[in-house]
Structure 1
Amino acid sequence: MSEQNPSTELSGYYAWTQTLQGVYYGPGSVSTALPKLLDTLGASKALVVTGNSLYTKTDVVKKVEGILREQNRYAATFYNIGEHSPISGIRAGADEFKKSGADIIVSVGGGSPIDASKAIIYFLHEQLGGEFLRQIAIPTTLSAAENSVGAGYTDEAGQKTAVSSPHLAPSGVILDAELTLATPERLWLSTGIRALDHAVENLYRPFVIPPLKYLCYGAIVDLFKYLPQSKADPNDIHARQKLQVAAWMSLWPREGQYSALGLSHALGHRLGATYGIPHGITSCLTLAPTVNLKAKVASEEDKQWLSGTLHQLKQTPTGSLEGDVVKFSSLINELVNNLGLKTSLDRYDVPREDLPTIAERALGGRNENHGDVVAFLEALYSSP
């Protein structure tokens, strides 16, 4: 098997994440799915982990708490998880879990509370030993953090870091579109671009098996279709449920880790926590130019997978792989603009002098495309 990209090899391995016991989806599904998952997992008391805005400004968390109370399975709610999951909130959440008498976490919200819950579980296991605790994830954005075995968080120095274990993936997931109605439009749509980022980068990351790539094609089609519909009618539950399933397809749960991050994700990690840019917005900035760069530097196989998106999107091919990849990049850029998500690095006060370091860290010390990456980051400012 090739060490570089075995995607087309006719041998390989796939397994579901070790922990996942079920995914329930559909509008209104939380009221029946949550008790079923708690029964399946043999859980008695749940700590709800969420963010301050979702807790104080919506009734979403109250609805989840109410279901748990009806089941006599509510322990407490911890709502001090900030954007990019700061380590201080994770430590406080671990302390709250120990005090509450809970035996499971129910996370509610976007990628930050879901990843923070994974990190809480990781650090509690380090402290207490024994079996890993479990999480039921109820996402209200399209970031798809519920499908991975890793937990990204922000350390004391403000840098993005991560922990990973096959035991950290949620044991249950509930995709209930009704719970997303309170999600702010910009957060909802930009995390949709984050899901698109997952799907697109899985087309050229090594060690992503062909069936998952075709799931990603399906995710790309639905994200291009239903994100504009959701913007046009924010109360369209059908479109929202389609988008939740598309986000699921964009990062299908699997045992172990995916290969190293794609460039757009790696840049997002370098930009997000350090400069306070939301994850969805980093994808709005970096995905289209990353795909454009792939037309120049990607392998023929990776270009073929990217070129295939035009057929999936019913777009006329250009006659060359490189031209097709550039056209796909322009379609991503057009989608971002039409969703009202176009932004710039200067809006977030990213110093130009930091760009070489950002590029170097995103490339993991590989310098072959360093100049190209710095150049496209330079182009992400609103003025010369």
Structure 2
Amino acid sequence: MSSQITNTPSADVLTGFYSYTDTLKGVYYGPGCVNDALPKLLATIGSTKALIVTGKSLREKTDVISRIETILKEHNAYGATLSEIGEHAPVSGIHNGVKLFNEIQADVFVAVGGGSPVDAAKAMSYFIQQQRGGSFVKQIAIPTTLSAAEYTAGVGYTNEEGQKTVLMSPFLPPAGVILDAELTITTPERLWLSSGIRALDHAVEGLYRPLLALPAKVLGYAALADLFKYLPESKANPKDLAARQKLQVAAWMSLWPIKTERPSPLGLSHALGHKLGATYGIPHGITSCLTLASVIQYKAETAPEEDKRSLAEALFYLQEPSTGTLDGDVKKLAFRIDGLVKRLGLSTSLEENKVPKADLAKIAKLALGEDQSTHPQVVELLENIYSKRGL
């Protein structure tokens, strides 16, 4: 399915290039930039044969993959396309990707789609490095959602038992990222908007994320403001390239790539989302729609004052007046998040997503890990969102 774009990019549409040291060599952004950016990144990282990693729907229902294949063929860099990566990156597709990569003697992955193809390509790189030794295989990521998986050193995939498995390495992030708003036009509305709430989840939970450098937290505030502004605009006019490009950059700001001595974990909303997603077949964007507002409301009652202050400061970026108390401001932020989810038509419940009520205590236990001191409160939080849509 080809999609006609009704508006022409103007001077206020974002376009540009950003370079980073070590693994990430460059981020290109702007409508239509893939035509020049993909060949430039191939030349920068010295790659000559690509395996495209994507999903079945993007391959069969849109012209996005054929466009990428054409660009690669024009530069004699096309190897093959693997289009069997499903939601939450099942390990069977990853193993098939490793086999195909070796068979065609490719030297780079080009992951196209949401977080699952990006994470699958990272996992393939990891397994190939384990087989061969030496360097990790490089990846160029071309996201069509707002999940922001392309900026992390972590990999989440689903193992043979249906459980989420995580790998970490500073060499796993893509070597290049291409944010081309034109390629997102065919992304289904619910996926596009809910992945935007996932980006909001990154930005909000990053405000109290341990070990995160101050500049990244400031970028989180900027991401939060843009997500609140442009997600409704994108829903109102799905072919507005300016809004879609703003949202892609907001997702980038929500999880800005930063080198740290050790990984800095995200918060409770993400932890719950990881346990809900693969096990019950819930897209990560929808898990954030389920949990984020309630987690922030919970933080108003339980978080240290420093964390509350970071969350309360978000009201300034949303041009919202303070309630006069930290607890009140954090609760107000929670209700603003809940209101955005409802405005986008994304409100849902655990019951609607077929999560058994009997599993709530187990989900809370798995999400909390070693520290089970707040287990009763987290079970109560899950009970509150079991059959209720939002706050």
Q: Distance in 2 between matches of 1:100 and 1:342?
A: 45
| Counterpart residue number, 1:349 | 354
| Counterpart residue number, 2:222 | 218
Q: 1:203 pairs with 199, 207, 212, which one?
A: 207
| Counterpart residue number, 1:125 | 129
Q: Is the 8 A contact 2:20 2:26 kept in 1?
A: no
Q: Is the 8 A contact 1:125 1:133 kept in 2?
A: yes
Q: Is the 8 A contact 1:16 1:254 kept in 2?
A: no
| Counterpart residue number, 2:52 | 48
The C-alpha deviation readout for 1:233-277, integer Å capped at 9, x for no partner, is 000000000000000000001124541231000000000000000
Name the TM-score, length of structure 2 as normaliser. Answer: 0.93
* 1:143 counterpart = 2:147: yes
* 1:364 counterpart = 2:387: no
* 1:340 counterpart = 2:345: yes
| Counterpart residue number, 1:377 | 382
The C-alpha deviation readout for 1:118-146, integer Å capped at 9, x for no partner, is 00000010011121110000000000000
* 1:281 counterpart = 2:286: yes
Shift of 1:372: 1.4
Query: Which letter does structure 1 place at the counterpart of 2:70?
Result: G
Q: 2:176 pairs with 153, 172, 177, which one?
A: 172
SS in 2 for 1:80: coil
Shift of 1:347: 1.4
| Counterpart residue number, 2:240 | 236
Dislocated runs of 4+, deviation >4 Å:
none
| Counterpart residue number, 2:193 | 189
SS in 2 for 1:347: coil
SS in 2 for 1:346: coil
Q: Is the 8 A contact 1:17 1:169 kept in 2?
A: no
Query: Which letter does structure 2 place at the counterpart of 1:173?
Result: V
* 1:89 counterpart = 2:93: yes
Shift of 1:366: 1.5
Shift of 1:296: 1.0
The C-alpha deviation readout for 1:137-196, integer Å capped at 9, x for no partner, is 000000000000111000111111111111100000000000000000000000000000
| Counterpart residue number, 1:33 | 37
The C-alpha deviation readout for 1:295-321, integer Å capped at 9, x for no partner, is 111111110100001111010110100
Q: Distance in 2 between matches of 1:204 and 1:292?
A: 14
SS in 1 for 2:83: strand
* 1:327 counterpart = 2:332: yes
| Counterpart residue number, 1:304 | 309
Shift of 1:381: 2.4
SS in 2 for 1:170: coil
SS in 2 for 1:241: helix
Q: Distance in 1 between matches of 2:87 and 2:21?
A: 26
Q: Is the 8 A contact 1:17 1:254 kept in 2?
A: no
Q: Distance in 2 between matches of 1:231 and 1:108?
A: 22
Q: Is the 8 A contact 1:149 1:164 kept in 2?
A: yes
Count of equivalent residues: 370
Q: Distance in 1 between matches of 2:28 and 2:59?
A: 23
SS in 1 for 2:373: coil
Shift of 1:106: 0.5
- Structure 2 segments unaligned to the other structure (5+ residues): 1-18
Q: Distance in 1 between matches of 2:40 and 2:83?
A: 24
Shift of 1:383: 6.1
Q: Is the 8 A contact 2:206 2:266 kept in 1?
A: no
Distance 1:221 1:212, change over 3 A: same
Query: Which letter does structure 1 place at the counterpart of 2:267?
Result: G
* 1:72 counterpart = 2:99: no
The C-alpha deviation readout for 1:71-118, integer Å capped at 9, x for no partner, is 011000001101000111111110010011211000000000000000
| Counterpart residue number, 2:9 | none
Shift of 1:350: 0.7
Q: Is the 8 A contact 2:207 2:217 kept in 1?
A: yes
When the two chains are superposed, the root-mean-square deviation of aligned CA atoms in Å is 1.3
Query: Which letter does structure 2 place at the counterpart of 1:300?
Result: E
SS in 1 for 2:244: helix
